Structure 1
Amino acid sequence: MLVELTMTEQRYRAVLEVQAGVPVTEVAERFGVSRQAVHRWIGWYRDEGLDGLADRSHRPHAHPAQTSPEVEAAICELRRTHRRWGQRRIAFELGRTGCPGPIPSVSTIYRVLVRHGLVDAVPRRRRREDYRRWERAVPMELWQLDIVDGIRLADGSETKIVTGVDDHSRFCVIATVVRRATGRAVCQAFTDALRAYGFPDEVLTDNGKQFTGRFTRPRPAEVMFERICRENGIVARNTKPRSPTTTGKVERFHQTLQRELLDHVQVWPDLPTAQAAIDAFRHEYNTNRPHQSLNMAFPADRFVPRTADEAPPSRLPVTLPPAAPVLGVDGVNPVDLAVEFTRLVPSSGNLTVCGQQFWLGPDRAGGTVTFWADTTIVHLLVNGVRLKTVPSRLTTTHLRRLLDDDGRPAGPPPIRTGNTQPGTAIEVDRTVNTVGAVGLAGRQHPVGYHFAGRRVTVRLDHGLLQLVDDGVLLRSLPNPLTPAELARLRDARPAGPPPQPPAGPVRVERRISCRGSLAVAGQRIHFGMVHAGRTVTIETADTTWRIYHDGELLTEVARTTSKNIARFKVRKPELPRRRAAPIDSTGQVS
C-alpha cells in the first residue's frame, strides 16, 4: 500500500539516513534535491528539532525599498486630519510640506491606507489611461454654467447657487447665491462674471429655462441669457437632454462644494453669511487647492482672464433692476401691473409669449420687437414705433414671470387714453366677449381675457373704470371714454354704492364632460358617468377643491396643482336633459 508522506516526514527521513552514515550525495540524489538543501535540513533539525523541518515563508526579513515607519505615520496622520484626501492628494502634500523619507508612489500610499484600515479596499476599476478626457486648449475658450441647490436659511427658505467653471483651467468664475434661480438672477451673476474676467468664446449649459428657450411651448423663444450671448458674440451651447456628464467639470465642482463646505453646515443664518462662505471657498478652490485633472496644479495658475483690448465691445445691461411688483392706484391691488420686454422674432414670424401668439410675418424674422403688456392690452413696437396692438391674454402671474426673467416695469403706454372729467358715476351691464373685451360707445375695450364669457357691471366713476360682479370689485382700469362718449352711452344708469373688495375663496364653474370628468387649473377630477353634463361650482381651499351642485357639496378632493385658475365660467351653458315622450297604447307619441 502506498502512503503519501508530508514534506516534514521526508526531510526527517533524509536527516536520519545521513546520521546513519549514508553519504549526503546519495541522500540528495534519492530525494531529488541538492546537497546544500540536505545540509540546511540537518542544520534546522540540529537547531530547532522536528519543528524546524516544517515549511517556512521565503519572504525576506528586510528590503531596502521598504516604506519606513516614519513615512507611514505621516501618511496616516494626513489621512486622519483630512478624511476627504485620497492617495494622489496625500502624495502631493508630502512633496509640498516635506516628507521624512523618500516620497512613496500613489499605489504604495493606497496600500498603507488599506493596511491601517483608513480606507476600504475596492476592486480595481478601469485605468485612467482608458478614459478619454476632453478639454479646451486655452482658458476663456469655454465656460460651463449650472445651478445647484443645498443652502437652507434660518427663515426656512432654500436658496440656489449659480456656478460657472472655465473648461481649460477649472477656475471657478461664478459662485453666486440667489434666493430664486430666475432668469434675471442668473443673468445678473453671468454679467458680473463677464465684467470681471472678460468674454469667453462659448458657454455650455443644460436646457434649463434660465439658459434657453428652445423647449418653450408651443414655439421656441429667445430668453435673456441667449440674448446677452448673442449681442456679445458668445456662442451659447446646450447639452443633449438628460446628459449631465457633458457638463461634467461644473458638476464635479458641485460635488467638491457639497463635500467640503455645504455638508458641514445644515442651516445658514442669512444669505450674506452664506455668500461670504461661498466666496472664501471659491478663493481657496482657485488658489490653494490642487486639481488632480491638472496634474496637481492650481486652477489660478492656468487661468488667464481677457483684457478689455482682447474682448469685443460689450453690450451688457448697465444694471438689472429688481423685479419689484407694480401696484395699482389703490396701492394694494397689483392688477395694473405693466411690463416691457424684448423678444427676437423667429424664422416663422410667429412669436409666442406665455402661451399667447403674435403674428409678425417672416419678413421680420431675426429682428427684435419690444412689448408693452398688461393684463388687458399688448402693444408691439419696433424701434420705438408702434407696430400693432392686440388684446392681452396675459395674467398677473405671467407678467410677474416676465419681470423675473428679462422684463422691466413699463412706463406710460404708447397710446394714451383720455379720461373723463369729474362727474356723476354711471353703470352699464355688459358681457365680456371671447377675447376679453366689452363694448362701450361703439368700441371694444379690453378688460381681461380671464373674464371672457362673464356678465359684469361696468362702473364709470370719474377717471376710473371698475368691473363689478354682485357688488364685488373685480378690477380697476383707467377710464378710456371721453365725456362725449359717456354722454351717448346706451343703457347707462346712475351708479350705486362703491363696490366692496373681493373676500372669501375663489369660485369657478365647470361642466362635467360626457366621460364624467372636468379640469380646473390643469388638474383633472373624475366624478363618474352619472354626473355627466352637470354644471358644478368649484370652491378653492388651501389644499383641496370643494365641488358643489345646486348648493350641495358633492365631494372634496386634494389639490395637486400649483397653477393659477385662468377660466372662471363654463364655456357652454348647461342644456336641460331631454326626456323621452310618452307613447300611448296605439304606439303613437302623445
Structure 2
Amino acid sequence: MRELTVAEQRYVAVMAVIADGLSISQVAEKSGVSRQTLHAWLARYEAAGLEGLVDRSHRPVSCPHQMPAAVEAALLELRRSRPYWGPRRLVFELKKRRVSPVPSESAAYRALVRAGMIDPSVRDRRSRKWKRWERGAPMELWQMDIVGGFPLADGSCAKALTGVDDHSRMCVSAKLMTRERTRAVCDGLRAALATYGAPEQLLTDNGKVFTGRFHHPPVEVLFDAICREHGIEHLLTQPRSPTTTGKIERFHRSLRAEFLSGHAPFANLKAAQQALDEWVDYYNNARPHQSLDMATPAQRFAARPAPSPVSGAGG
C-alpha cells in the first residue's frame, strides 16, 4: 500500500483544522511541517479550493495509473461531506459533477483507505446467506414500521410511521407523532394512501397498532380495517424475523445515519416534521440508491400505474 500523496497529506491537515477544530500548532506538529507552511496550505485552500492543494511541480508523473491528485482530493472532500457513502456512490457522484478522469470503484476504495476514511479490517458483518428479493413493480407491496429517536427540545422523543415501496424503495410515509397511538398511526396510513393510492399488499410486524389477529380473541383493529376497506392484503412478519422487512430496516439505517445522527433537538413536532419532509424529498428524488443501479427511488417509482382515487379511509 503506497503512502499518501502530497495533496492528500495537505488535505488531511487542512481538514483537521477546518472540520475537526484542531489548533494550528497541533496539526503542524502532527504533520511534521511548520506553522507557517500549514497557514500557507489553509490560504491556498481558501483561495483556490482543492486545486490549491495540488502540487503543480513539472516533474514527470511517477505512475501513469495513479489517480490525479485533484481527483483524489475531490473524492476525499466528498467523502468527508458524506461519510456514510461508499466508493460506488462516491464515484457515481463524481461522474455527475463531471470530475475527470472518473476513478474506478477499486481506486476510490484504495484512496479512502490511504486517507483513513475506510478501515479495511472492518467487513460488512451482515449475513450473506439471505437472498435479496423484491417485488416486480411499484405498488405491489409496501413495508411499514414505527421508528423512534426524533429528539424534541422539551426532552421527549417523537416517533414516525415509516413506509417504503418494496420495488422502488420510495418512501411513501414518514409521519411523526408524539406517541405510538392507533389514531396517529392510522392518520399516517391514510395520508400515504391519499397521496400514492393503495398498494396490493402491505407488510408490517405484529405490533398492536397494526393488527389484532393475535389478541385473545382476535379482533380487527383500525389499521386492519383500513387495509380491508381498500382491498389491501395486510401481511404480517414471522416472529423474530427482521430480514422479512429488510427494506424498511435499511431505510431506518439511512435515516439514522444521514438525518438523525448528531442532530440537535427539534424545537417542536412541527419543526421536526418539516425537516424530515425535506430529507425524505432528498431521499426520494435526489439521493442515488446503490441497489437501484444508482437511480433514485422516484425514478423507479415513476413506472407505477396511475393511482386509484382513495376516499376517506376507515372513518
Q: Place the TM-score, normalised by the shorter chain, in its bin.
A: 0.7 to 0.9
Partner of 1:106: 105
Change (3 A) 1:272 1:306: farther
> Over residues 328-358 of structure 1, what are the superposed CA-to-partner deviations in whole Å (9 max), with x where a residue is unaligned?
xxxxxxxxxxxxxxxxxxxxxxxxxxxxxxx
The amino acid that maps onto 1:284 is: Y
Change (3 A) 1:258 1:233: same
TM-score by length of 2: 0.75
Question: Whole-Å Cα distance in 2 between the matches of residues 256 and 124 of structure 1?
Answer: 18
Whether the 8 Å CA contact 2:194–2:311 is kept in 1: the answer is no
Question: Whole-Å Cα distance in 2 between the matches of residues 255 and 123 of structure 1?
Answer: 18
Question: Whole-Å Cα distance in 2 between the matches of residues 206 and 285 of structure 1?
Answer: 24
Partner of 1:552: none
The amino acid that maps onto 1:208 is: G
| Structure-to-structure mapping, 1:121-520, within 5 angstroms | 121-122=120-121, 132-216=131-215, 218-304=216-302, 306-307=305-306, 311=308, 316-317=313-314
The amino acid that maps onto 2:294 is: M
Question: Whole-Å Cα distance in 2 between the matches of residues 238 and 68 of structure 1?
Answer: 52
> Over residues 140-165 of structure 1, what are the superposed CA-to-partner deviations in whole Å (9 max), with x where a residue is unaligned?
11000000011132223322111000
Q: Cα offset for 1:132? A: 2.5
Q: Cα offset for 1:190? A: 0.3
The amino acid that maps onto 2:313 is: L
Whether the 8 Å CA contact 1:70–1:100 is kept in 2: the answer is no
Residue identity over aligned pairs, in percent, reads: 51
Matched residue SS, 1:144: strand
| Structure-to-structure mapping, 1:535-574, within 5 angstroms | none
Deviates more, 1:286-295 or 1:251-260: 251-260
Question: Whole-Å Cα distance in 2 between the matches of residues 266 and 241 of structure 1?
Answer: 35
The amino acid that maps onto 1:74 is: A
Q: Cα offset for 1:258? A: 1.1
Change (3 A) 1:126 1:295: farther
Whether the 8 Å CA contact 2:197–2:309 is kept in 1: the answer is no
Question: Whole-Å Cα distance in 2 between the matches of residues 290 and 179 of structure 1?
Answer: 31
Q: Cα offset for 1:93? A: 0.8
Q: Cα offset for 1:303? A: 0.8
> Over residues 411-460 of structure 1, what are the superposed CA-to-partner deviations in whole Å (9 max), with x where a residue is unaligned?
xxxxxxxxxxxxxxxxxxxxxxxxxxxxxxxxxxxxxxxxxxxxxxxxxx
> Over residues 456-494 of structure 1, what are the superposed CA-to-partner deviations in whole Å (9 max), with x where a residue is unaligned?
xxxxxxxxxxxxxxxxxxxxxxxxxxxxxxxxxxxxxxx
Partner of 1:67: 67
Matched residue SS, 1:261: helix
The amino acid that maps onto 2:206 is: N
Q: Cα offset for 1:179? A: 1.3
Q: Cα offset for 1:317? A: 3.8
Whether the 8 Å CA contact 2:88–2:290 is kept in 1: the answer is yes
Q: Cα offset for 1:119? A: 1.7
Whether the 8 Å CA contact 2:170–2:301 is kept in 1: the answer is yes
Q: Cα offset for 1:77? A: 2.0
Whether the 8 Å CA contact 1:153–1:159 is kept in 2: the answer is yes
Change (3 A) 1:254 1:129: closer
Matched residue SS, 2:145: strand
Change (3 A) 1:131 1:317: closer
Change (3 A) 1:111 1:246: same
Question: Whole-Å Cα distance in 2 between the matches of residues 306 and 181 of structure 1?
Answer: 32
Question: Whole-Å Cα distance in 2 between the matches of residues 67 and 196 of structure 1?
Answer: 46
2:86 counterpart of 1:89: no
Whether the 8 Å CA contact 1:164–1:250 is kept in 2: the answer is yes
Matched residue SS, 2:143: strand
The amino acid that maps onto 2:205 is: D
Matched pairs, number: 254
Give unmatched runs, 5+ long, in structure 2.
1-60
| Greater C-alpha radius of gyration | 1
Change (3 A) 1:118 1:158: closer
Change (3 A) 1:105 1:127: farther
Structure 1 or 2: larger helix share? 2
Matched residue SS, 1:236: strand
Matched residue SS, 2:294: coil
Q: Cα offset for 1:88? A: 1.2
> Over residues 541-573 of structure 1, what are the superposed CA-to-partner deviations in whole Å (9 max), with x where a residue is unaligned?
xxxxxxxxxxxxxxxxxxxxxxxxxxxxxxxxx
Change (3 A) 1:128 1:112: farther
Question: Whole-Å Cα distance in 1 between the matches of residues 124 and 278 of structure 2?
Answer: 35
The amino acid that maps onto 1:289 is: R
Q: Cα offset for 1:312? A: 7.8
Q: Which is bigger in relative contact order (C-alpha 8 A, separation at least 6)?
A: 2
Structure 1 or 2: larger strand share? 1
Change (3 A) 1:96 1:313: closer
Q: Cα offset for 1:123? A: 5.4
Q: Cα offset for 1:98? A: 1.4
Matched residue SS, 2:119: coil
Matched residue SS, 2:248: helix
TM-score by length of 1: 0.41
Whether the 8 Å CA contact 2:186–2:222 is kept in 1: the answer is yes
2:80 counterpart of 1:80: yes
